Structure 1
């Protein structure tokens, strides 16, 4: 059974968190993952490098269903409004990174490859 359609892409947005943040201690970075339906331009699933399951589920609830055609700013406003964890800034930076990669893919540009 196929969980995601062939129209979907998987991408990661990266950020750094404070050195005392438990996420940094466990993962050495903060990141979000997005599964985006390119045809509908909608986020169909999401996750984050959160330590607590509730946090990951909450981040998923913020991103899932988001219309990418709305652009960068409405999601940033949503994060400021809803997410008040210590990684708020890192979540926004990771979103910006993911959105930049999404635009590169959408515009048939080659995303920057990590080494």
Structure 2
């Protein structure tokens, strides 16, 4: 899967939210659907369709356990997205590093000021 195609899949806020729900580990399709229905106001079949898109495009795995279906994140396409984003990381890494330096400087100055009081 190309990174550009991955963004097509991840461009949908419902699918991004599903992946967020799966970050901490496997979840049943019912549990995922309940959260998605509540947060987005969509039907259970619509939530299932989003799960299917994630599964068919490699972002999620599913395994049966009795009558339940357990979904989990498959990190492979996310690694591809991360590799593609690496080309652009310099646009925000340097400014973030500079911000971290300024924040640390500010904390040092506040500590010095409170010690001198």
Asked if TM exceeds 0.5, the reply is no
Q: Which of the two has higher C-alpha Rg?
A: 2
More helix as a share of residues: 2
More strand as a share of residues: 1
TM-score by length of 1: 0.31
